[in-house]
Structure 1
């Protein structure tokens, strides 16, 4: 019998926001049965929020399935989720033989400060960019805190050198670092969880690449202490991937339990292609302008490797709305793949289970590492409006309108930078600070408005041109204001002022030309 117990299905540890905005913590079972009364799961950092959702989804798959879209619809229409049946002994955080998401075999490795569990308090080779915690610093985590950071670590721990079990120190960055994890958010936590819960039936290999041996980490035997590499057995295996071998060391202090020491060694490296197994990310691959040539005739275009879309600071994930929202149409070989969870949502819209006018939110989570993949530089979270009407595969105009709108923003962004470069070329001045910040972040909300207006037009059978014109006006306004601030941003006299005025005038001419060209292209396509 363990002297210390903390069961994740019985004791509160999951951080939630209730519908009235108050914060609370719930156990796994209560989280699901009260999900219709909750707004969202909200972790201390964006990666924690993402990792906790992945864990809860794996838990739901084993509790509910659902084995088919019919069963999914029953869960969607129900007022509340049913009480899940669980094997409570698999969720003991400090069990000696099967501790949750841990590896008892590494218990004999010298333990380090619990600060290694927390990215902004990390030590040794895993320090974050701005942290100055020392290896001797004492960090005490409650069991609930330790559980949250343990789940986050398995999904988002950076790579680099770790304490070895024997000799192997090298570790691969945990899988979620490689992508922008896409979460569809509804009006309640119940809606959110179900919108991201695909039909799950391993006997029928549903979802794709999920076989009968699929199981979450807590149902598998604890892993061996040595690092290894393998393909995932299926979706719940990937959602709870054992990227690290971990052992939490609890201690009683003044009658309360804390975790102040931890063992973290390299774990399981992920093998396989991401687009074949990760369903909560969009993927794309580059397409060459020309295909292979045979006897003077061009064949099909060639493609580069697939890679998941990732968040980029300041630029906005909305620029990839085509890849995030739309299913490729036509016979041409696809060069993007939206998150496959959205394929399921689209089918539920087409079947009338989800209202066609619904507008949800895509929340995209990411973590940026340094060039070596071993230092956390920042964590990111962005949102994009998701009118479900755009998910349908029978709107041939949606792709061109969205693609044309994003292209316009990119062209104008490039023109802004060209304005600054031409001015600097004559004065050997440094690049202007804040020009990108005065443009890209301000386009996010207007783009959401474009998506919603486009969805309304397509559903009502009216022209999408007014929606596109509204976007043009916002791009013009934001870009012009950014250019004016650039021109007025520093004292300019004489030749400097004259050249700045010339560069500004050239930018305005290019701005007008790009907008007119895009309008003509769109009008020709729609007609």
Structure 2
């Protein structure tokens, strides 16, 4: 119980302890009912819960990471054998969980005077602002419009459960940039005005999901060994945020270990609870200041396990040589699925959870034929402008993280899909010569052919490049093409894993049928997109002429791209009928 200033009197705020109080949004396994549960009930009954599901994917993923920190603290696991024993049991030791949550019970109180959960009690309420500033779905200051509008003068009233969820999410997904800071005691403002983004603000975060919450958390509970420095080298006593006695400071430091990383405090925050006239606890204001920042020589790729990274061979000063795979408004994440499953030479690093599960398959702790899901969650952000958040789910037969031949066939399919997709963009393609001479030559892409005719004053004069670009941009066929392929690709992902035969040499071959079928899906989708985009776009004589020329170019290039797979399809058909 704590005291808070309310009007002209001190108001006694009851404890709101996240171990016991309902605040984590869950979907029950038995009947699909949506309920909110406390940390204790979620962990002790995880095998009866289908999933954690919040409207905000940022909340969803950070709640999983919070629970993973509790589990790692209590169960390791130090070896694959330890992990397998936990998996086979089907639930965690409730006695051990009870003992731990009892020991640290007071540290999970959202409004505790000394150690409020995920907050810094030393900062004063005179620095408070609207609680909308920590809710990514609200518009405030520079934030782009997402779902709601709340002015600083009319802050929302959050319940303690809502405030707790947004508090946890904001620590990981805080936008970087200037923080409104007004000196109240004559202290210099400059050291506190700018803060880096939260650790996950620019990342597409991966989460392996199983049939229930127990399986989901176990699939992401990778090896944790303090003595061996796994999953990365420890630099001191590795503690989750609630076990740390020292308050969060506005300083640069690297994480002491994995628990520190999972519960990283990028901001010093303090919720300001009040009791309304009905006796209900609400939170309308929060203090939000700069917290721990990663030093310039330590990058997220050094320790993060749930994010994929791509090689940057020429990083600028202060940039990571391994930046995180990000979310872009115009690019569906399934197009980067190969980057999430396995490494490609020195080009990318998949999330370490993918590599961990591959090791479990190799150790026979999991069956390669087992199917799970891979969820990708995060937001698209530019500085302090949040464009959108996203939660995508891909089916993941575990063979993809362990079987290199299957993985290579997936990469081949994705490369083919990208080649066809480029037909709907501006520019040129380089084509190998067919006249026996070495080298390549450039041919304009079909939409460039179309735009060139429309933008030419007459056939004897060149088209205006800016006008051509404007025409192609107005048509935007790429969006149609990629959106139409999302559902078929997910089916293809599962079918490809099952399409395996043994050849005459005793080797396993993948995709002999399914890959040719995928090429046919691309052909049909591409033609449907082309006709939907071009037909009727301009019915003038010049427009019809442009359409005819573009169609010839499109037909020729599409045939060249898909011809090898069309031959495979015909050969397979002949074998079946022969």
- TM-score normalised over the length of structure 1: 0.89
Distance 1:109 1:311, change over 3 A: same
Q: After the TM superposition, which residues 436-447 of structure 1 pair with which residues of structure 2 at under 5 Å, given as runs? A: 436-447=478-489
Superimposed CA distance per residue, residues 73-114 of structure 1 (whole angstroms, 9 cap, x where no aligned partner): 111111322221321111111011111110111124421222
Question: Quick one: which of 373, 382, 385 aligns to 1:361?
Answer: 373
Q: Secondary structure at the match of 2:479?
A: coil
Pairing of 1:233-244 with structure 2 (within 5 A):
233-244=256-267
User: Aligned-pair distance for 1:445?
Assistant: 2.7
1:188 to 197, 207, 212: 212
The Cα of 1:338 is off from its aligned counterpart by 0.9
Matched, 1:135 2:152: yes
Q: What is the distance in 1 between the residues matched to 2:54 and 2:524?
A: 36
Contact kept? 1:287, 1:335, Cα under 8 Å: no
> In 2, Cα distance between the equivalents of 1:521 and 1:320?
25
Q: CA deviation at 1:315?
A: 2.6
Q: Name the residue aligned to 2:303.
A: 277
RMSD in angstroms over aligned alpha carbons? 2.4
1:318, CA displacement in angstroms?
Answer: 1.9
Q: Does 1:321 align with 2:321?
A: no
1:44 aligns with 2:68: no
**Could you tell me how far 1:140 is from its partner in structure 2?**
1.0
* SS of structure 1 residue aligned to 2:122: helix
Mapping for residues 222-237 of structure 1, pairs under 5 Å? 222-225=246-249, 227-237=250-260
In the other structure, the counterpart of 2:360 is 348
Over 3 Å counting, the alpha-carbon distance change for 1:232 and 1:458 in structure 2 is farther
- Give the direction of change, closer, same or farther, for the CA distance of 1:275–1:211 in structure 2 (3 Å limit): same
State the Cα distance separating 1:405 from its structure 2 match: 1.2
SS in 2 for 1:179: coil
Q: Which residue number corresponds to residue 397 of structure 1?
A: 405
The alpha carbon displacement at 1:131 in A equals 5.3
Instruction: Quote the residue 2:387 is aligned against.
Output: 377
For the Cα contact (< 8 Å) 2:231–2:303, is it kept in 1?
no
**CA–CA separation in structure 2 for the residues paired with 1:91 and 1:40:** 22
CA distance in 2, matches of 1:498, 1:483: 15
Equivalent residue, structure 2, for 1:312: 328
Q: Which residue of 1 aligns with 2:448?
A: 421
For structure 1, list consecutive stretches of 5 or more residues without a partner in the other structure.
289-303, 523-527
TM-superposition CA deviations, 1:106-143 (whole Å, max 9, x none): 12442122222212224335564675421110311111
Map 1:120-199 onto structure 2 (within 5 A).
120-126=137-143, 128=145, 132-164=149-181, 166=187, 167=189, 168-199=192-223
CA spacing shift, 1:499–1:424, aligned 2, 3 Å: same
Separation in structure 2 between the aligned mates of residue 410 and residue 162 of structure 1, nearest angstrom = 41
SS at match of 2:281: strand
Answer yes or no: is the 8 Å Cα contact 1:90–1:100 preserved in 2: yes
Cα 1:520–1:407, aligned 2, differ >3 Å: closer, same or farther?
Answer: farther
Match of residue 66, structure 1, among 77, 83, 86: 77
| 8 A Cα contact 1:420 1:432, kept in partner | no
Distance 1:459 1:33, change over 3 A: farther
Shift of 1:179: 1.0
Distance (whole Å) between structure 2 residues aligned to residue 311 and residue 260 of structure 1: 30
Partners of 2:267 and 2:292 within 8 A in 1:
yes
- The match for 1:267 is 291
SS across alignment from 1:233: coil
Structure 2 segments unaligned to the other structure (5+ residues): 3-11, 315-319, 426-444, 456-469, 503-507, 570-578
- In structure 2, the partner of 1:525 is none
Deviation of 1:212 after TM superposition, in Å, equals 5.0
Alignment match, 1:435: 477
Residue 274 of structure 2: aligned partner: 251
Query: For residues 309 and 507 of structure 1, what CA distance do their matches in structure 2 show?
Result: 32
Q: CA, structure 1 residues 268+490, in 2 after alignment: closer, same or farther (shift >3 Å)?
A: same
Alignment of 1:73-152 (within 5 A): 73-83=84-94, 84=97, 85-86=100-101, 87-126=104-143, 128=145, 132-152=149-169
Deviation (angstroms), 1:477: 1.2
Query: 2-side partners of 1:448 and 1:73: how far apart?
Result: 29
Give how far 1:352 is off: 2.3
Give the C-alpha shift of residue 491 in structure 1.
Answer: 4.6
Q: Which residue of 2 aligns with 1:10?
A: 20
- The whole-number CA distance in structure 1 between the counterparts of 2:147 and 2:38 is 33
Mapped contact 2:80–2:365 kept (Cα < 8 A): no
Matched, 1:336 2:348: yes
1:151 Cα deviation from its structure 2 partner: 0.3
